[in-house]
Structure 1
Amino acid sequence: MVPALEAGEIASIRFLEFFASAIRNPHTCRAYARAASDFLAWCARAGVPSITALQPLHVAAGIERQTQTLSAPTVKQHLAAIRHLFDWLVTGQVVPHNPAASVRGPIHTAKKGKTPVLDATEARQLLDSIDVSTPVGLRDRALIALMVFSFARVGAALAMRVEDVYVQQRRLWVRLREKSGKRHEMPCHHTLEAYLHAYLDGTGIGDDPKGPLFRTIARGTGRLSDAPLPRANAYAMVRRRALVAGIGTAVGNHTFRATGITAYLKNGGTLENAAAMANHASTRTTQLYDRRRDELSQDEVERIRV
């Protein structure tokens, strides 16, 4: 990707270097690339002649335009992408100042996340509905259970290798590599332990410790391949499994992280321990996944008798 505005060879190279070397997380890189591309294309249409001609007024106008169609968190992410990009260009002496530095994004305060959550009965219904007589069924049940019982992000789950499931203190443990490369280890719930054992033993991948834990199915064979399962495939799988199980909630990969955290807290778990298990730096983040008040609100609404 190259700038939509006139930039010159040096600026273009510096621009590409930002996405190639300054951002390590691939998901952040893709999101920032989309944000920068959209903003610079809009600037070109608005008549801004070059990157060096950009002023805070242009950035403010572009951000204001986005608030008409995008959510506040998305707009703030786009502004962060533009700000970081121009910080990089300033340090590379491409532009004299950062035009986004003084621009403020929309105010946004979140006390509860938007991720759809299953209650414990629905989660059990989903897991029990999976036919585990095939390798794909064993894989899908193990992946969903991992996200529920270990609060794992789907990206961390799909990045696991077989050797990241291991025995310690006579219990099965899992090793997750979370955001920013942080390594997180925790013991398995007894249900997850049983599902992982069934998956590893039933598919024979335990003999390939360096291989991916969750794999695609080789075309026409019904057997696991050596390729890791992509995130999009995992999303399609959970939607399909939920539909077969008769669950109306519009589930996604992140649903199971929120489901597990809520179930843990409902059964007497503490917010501090939930944060540690979810590898959150702050309990404020964990609170976004706590949906216990949803049931309270539903019960109270039913008191309205007309």
Structure 2
Amino acid sequence: MDDDAKMITILNGHRDFARVDLPSSIRDAGAAFAWDEFFAGVIRNHHTRTAYLQAVRKFLAWVEETETPLERISPGMVGAYFNQHPGSLPTKKLHLAALRAFFDVLVQRHVLILNPAATVRGERYAVIEGKTPEISRDQARDLLTSIDTTTPIGRRDKAIIATLIYTAARAGAIANLRLRDFVWDGSQYALRFLEKGGKSRAIPIRHDLQGYLLDYLNSFEWQTEKSETVLFRSGQGRTGQLTQRPLRNIDICRMVKRRLRDAGLPPHLSPHSFRVATVTDLLNQGIALEDVQYLAGHADPRTTRLYDRRQKQVTRNTVERISI
């Protein structure tokens, strides 16, 4: 196991971070506390921690080859590093953000006087439209219709895919649902999601999705189960029966791919394709951007616009009218 893997294992296990070998520049500068604080205390998301750890380690390894101590790192050195950085523009942007955040902590802990990455400018990278492929309305309907619901697994899969479509939720948020998150308020059901960034939101359930969910839940005695029981359970081999084990994010992704294949739909589609289709469909109908933003769980409306594929449709319309 390499150093990064050891570090992530220790962090996730809440063990003493100081046992992991530090970069020599951090150790020589007496910055172990700041290093521990940043990676074990400041960054709470596992995926962000992993990405930032790799970015900072790569930069410090490059610096150490020049035998430059931590306190002598300059903005020029950071700029020179990114001039020879082999990564893509999004990767460079991520790595620069990691260095800025890391050096901020070193400044706060008086290891450095100034942040050498603060004034370094990254290359321009503007995303106008997301890369996730969109599933069409007819394709989504065909997919739902193609699922055999004579088994609990079939009812589960139809309920999950309908939830992806009619709530615009991420697969990870759906995998995290518990029975307590299927809420009845006296007049309608809602699903309570815990999304990225610790955001919690409740999405009302439309009538057809309610039917799919209840059909699935009635496959077992869900009303007598403990509230913390997972909502969507894994299957037992090819028996079509459910187990007590939770369905993971990766399991949902594999299930969707399998159902797409069985329905004869393009294999490049994914669970995220439903979010694109739902956002575009609602915006096409004139639903306010802020309402669609809330449904999708985006903190910034610019992120919601990345899911809007109406721009692509207009572009195709335009080029078809070229009379050459």
TM-score normalised by the shorter chain: which range applies? 0.7 to 0.9
Q: 1:280 aligns with which of 295, 298, 312?
A: 298
Gaps of 5+ in 1: none
Bigger Cα Rg: 2
1:88 aligned partner: 105
Distance (Å, rounded) in 1 between the aligned partners of 2:233 and 2:67:
47
* Secondary structure in structure 2 of the residue aligned to 1:7: helix
1:174 aligned partner: 191
* 1:255 matched to 2:273: yes
2:31 aligned partner: 11
- Contact 1:5–1:51 (CA under 8 A) maintained in structure 2: no
C-alpha RMSD of matched pairs (Å): 2.7
Distance (Å, rounded) in 2 between the aligned partners of 1:87 and 1:301:
48
Cα offset for 1:165?
Answer: 1.0
**Number of residue pairs aligned between Structure 1 and Structure 2:** 303
- Contact 2:25–2:60 (CA under 8 A) maintained in structure 1: no
Cα offset for 1:90?
Answer: 2.2
2:117 aligned partner: 100
TM-score, length-scaled by structure 2: 0.82
* Secondary structure in structure 2 of the residue aligned to 1:202: coil
Structure 2 matches for 1:125-140, cutoff 5 A?
125-140=142-157
1:258 alignment partner AA: V
Cα offset for 1:267?
Answer: 3.2
- Contact 1:160–1:176 (CA under 8 A) maintained in structure 2: yes
Gaps of 5+ in 2: 1-6, 8-20
Deviation string, structure 1 residues 128-163 (Cα, Å, up to 9, x no partner): 223333333333322222222111123322222111
Distance (Å, rounded) in 2 between the aligned partners of 1:189 and 1:33:
43
Cα offset for 1:300?
Answer: 4.0
- Contact 2:261–2:267 (CA under 8 A) maintained in structure 1: no
Cα offset for 1:21?
Answer: 1.5
- Contact 1:5–1:43 (CA under 8 A) maintained in structure 2: no
Cα offset for 1:92?
Answer: 2.4
Cα offset for 1:235?
Answer: 2.5
Structure 2 matches for 1:205-220, cutoff 5 A?
205-206=222-223, 207-218=225-236
* Secondary structure in structure 2 of the residue aligned to 1:6: helix
Distance (Å, rounded) in 1 between the aligned partners of 2:36 and 2:150:
48
Distance (Å, rounded) in 2 between the aligned partners of 1:131 and 1:51:
62
1:162 alignment partner AA: L
Distance (Å, rounded) in 2 between the aligned partners of 1:265 and 1:218:
40
* 1:47 matched to 2:66: yes
Distance (Å, rounded) in 2 between the aligned partners of 1:243 and 1:236:
11
Q: Percent identity?
A: 38
TM-score, length-scaled by structure 1: 0.86
Structure 2 matches for 1:114-153, cutoff 5 A?
114-153=131-170
